[in-house]
Amino acid sequence: MRVFFIGFGQAGGKIVDMFIEQDKRMQTQNFRGIAVNTARTDLMGLKNIELKDRLLIGQTVVKGHGVGTDNVTGARVTADEIDAIINAIDSRGTHDVDAFVIIAGLGGGTGSGGSPVLARHLKRIYREPVYAIGILPAPEEGRLYSYNAARSLSTLVNEADNTFIFDNSAWKNEGESVKDAYNRLNDEIVRRFGVLFRAGEVGKAGIGEMVVDSSEVINTLRGGGISSVGYAISEKISPRTKQSQGLLSGLVRKKEKTEEVLTGEDKSAKIIALVRRAMLGRLTLPCDYSTAERGLVLLAGPSDEMDRKGVEKSKSWVEENIAGVEVRGGDYPVQSDYIAAVVVLATIGNAPRITELLEIAKATKEDVLKSKEKRSTMFDDGIEPLFE
Ligand SMILES: Nc1nc2c(ncn2[C@@H]2O[C@H](COP(=O)(O)OP(=O)(O)O)[C@@H](O)[C@H]2O)c(=O)[nH]1
Ligand SMILES: [Mg+2]
């Protein structure tokens, strides 16, 4: 599909920058993107998004220095300057776009406050679906980040057509700081969602066994709410094996049939194993997959590694394991030495990390209120103030 990315805030901008980089490297034209921020230095740090596609907002309020962790200000300046943001998107072109994807770290200020506001306006203006990829903060970043993320997420889920979650805390290693992990985490994000959002694009490598098109991605995400994504990659497909297979099939025509049957089964088993690994491995948001309403299975790799039966069987396996019965999927060829499998668990019913986040946020809110009360009663003992 063709995706228009909007990177909101620092994390969002960096990740969109990487999607654009991937599109350049792969010489495809599936992705378009802009970055929006209140901090000038964050925009300057980007490499692949063109200068004219980096939009600084809130200048009259924060003078290019960013809103810090104040997501209420982030939301306000976004609402105030929504016309400038929409203009920037329009001038980049939207006529051939299949979906909008807003990306933001939900624990900060600009992306946290701005992305739900932008989602609401995009939905009002365009007919195409508006998705979000929201990044959850790690608890070590402090309670304010969790509080921000909980407020942002509960708003975003109502505005976007579907919200994918990537949980920083589930992905950073023990003992590693979140900041040190950013590059690696962003790489993980771009790989997974790169495969997902390229679904349905016919590249140089030909047409798949079971073609998926963008409407299948869109139908999978129709239920809204929160979704999580699994991913697995095969071992490197050795070019030698490929060559000798080609040679064999050319030389030994009569034997070909039996060999094809064997290779077919091998291929199929390989695909099923890969899809299982994708769903049972670490998800972008760790969650109970059995609560997912819908599923999508995507395979990307060299066309001679693809197998219709393998795709069908892995779809059935996903269907047996999730709550709902709708599992879509297919494959698309890419020139690569690997096969990648993506499983989208759409509209999940339960994720411990979200529950935890909401609890932290509730406690934080109560503490904020209590400390306000304390301040107001402390001087409440009869001393007259200077003025009322
Ligand atoms: N995965 C990832 N998370 C990030 C990155 N940069 C910041 N974050 C996280 O995103 C959240 C918001 O930070 P930031 O994007 O700087 O806020 P904003 O600029 O005010 O929108 C925090 O929880 C950060 O830990 C990044 O490059 N990758
Ligand atoms: Mg920042």
The whole-angstrom separation of Cα 193 and Cα 189 is 6
Instruction: Find the helix packing angle between 143-159 and 110-125, rounded to 10°.
Output: 0
CA-wise closest residue to 300 among 166, 165, 194: 194
145 CB near ligand 1 (under 6 Å)? yes
Residues 133-154 pLDDT 10s = 999 999 999 999 999 999 999 9
Q: Provide Rg for the chain, Cα atoms.
A: 24
135 CB near ligand 1 (under 6 Å)? yes
Which-ligand-closest: CA of 135? 1
pLDDT-derived band at 375 (thresholds 50, 70, 90) equals: low
Q: Is 183 marked within a binding site?
A: no
The answer to whether residues 97 and 55 touch, using CB atoms and an 8 Å cutoff, is no
Q: Which residue has the tokens 């394991």?
A: 321
Domains 3-198 and 229-346 share a fold: no
Q: Which residue has the tokens 């600084």?
A: 56
> Which ligand 1 atom lies nearest to the CA of residue 136?
23
More confident residue, 316 or 264: 316
Q: Is 312 marked within a binding site?
A: no
Q: Is 13 marked within a binding site?
A: yes
Pairing assessment for the beta strands 31-37 and 54-56 based on DSSP bridges:
parallel
Domain regions of the chain by residue span: 3-198, 229-346
pTM for the full predicted model: 0.91
What are 351's two structure tokens? 């994720």
Residues 288-315 pLDDT 10s = 999 999 999 999 999 889 999 999 999 9
* Burial (0-12, 13-18, 19+ Cβ within 10 Å), 127: exposed
Q: Determine the topology of domain 3-198 in CATH.
A: Rossmann fold (3.40.50)
DSSP-derived 3-state class of residue 301: strand
CA-wise closest residue to 285 among 243, 227, 337: 227
In the predicted structure, residue 339 carries a pLDDT above the cut 80: yes
Cβ atoms within 10 Å of 337's Cβ, excluding its own: 13
115 CB near ligand 1 (under 6 Å)? no
Q: Is 14 marked within a binding site?
A: yes
| Mean pLDDT for the stretch of residues 174-191 | 93
The whole-angstrom separation of Cα 235 and Cα 238 is 9
Distance 149 CA to ligand 1 centre (A): 11
> Which ligand 1 atom lies nearest to the CA of residue 37?
19
Q: Is 301 marked within a binding site?
A: no
Question: What's the CA dihedral at 356, 357, 360, 362 to 10 degrees?
Answer: -110
In the 8-state DSSP scheme, what is residue 345? Answer: E
pLDDT at 88: 97
Q: Is 110 marked within a binding site?
A: yes
Distance 148 CA to ligand 1 centre (A): 12
Distance 312 CA to ligand 2 centre (A): 44
pLDDT at 259: 43
In the predicted structure, residue 257 carries a pLDDT above the cut 50: no
The answer to whether residues 100 and 6 touch, using CB atoms and an 8 Å cutoff, is yes
What top-level class would CATH report for the domain 229-346?
A: alpha beta
Which-ligand-closest: CA of 171? 1
Which-ligand-closest: CA of 14? 1
DSSP-derived 3-state class of residue 160: coil
**213-226 residues labelled b (16+ CB within 10 A) or e (exposed):** ebebbbebbebbbb
CA-wise closest residue to 114 among 62, 78, 63: 78
> Which ligand 1 atom lies nearest to the CA of residue 109?
20
Specify the DSSP element, H or E, that contains 228: strand 226-233
The whole-angstrom separation of Cα 231 and Cα 276 is 9
Residues 71-94 pLDDT 10s = 999 999 999 999 999 999 999 999
Pairing assessment for the beta strands 162-167 and 326-333 based on DSSP bridges:
unpaired
Q: Which residue has the tokens 């109970």?
A: 288
pLDDT at 263: 72
Where are the strands (E) in 84-221, listed by range? 99-105, 130-136, 162-167
Looking from the CA of 62 toward its CB, the CA atoms found within 13 Å total 23
99 CB near ligand 1 (under 6 Å)? no
107 CB near ligand 1 (under 6 Å)? yes
In the predicted structure, residue 317 carries a pLDDT above the cut 90: yes
The answer to whether residues 309 and 286 touch, using CB atoms and an 8 Å cutoff, is no
Which-ligand-closest: CA of 69? 1
> Which ligand 1 atom lies nearest to the CA of residue 105?
10
14 CB near ligand 1 (under 6 Å)? yes
In the predicted structure, residue 248 carries a pLDDT above the cut 80: no
9 CB near ligand 1 (under 6 Å)? yes
In the 8-state DSSP scheme, what is residue 334? Answer: -
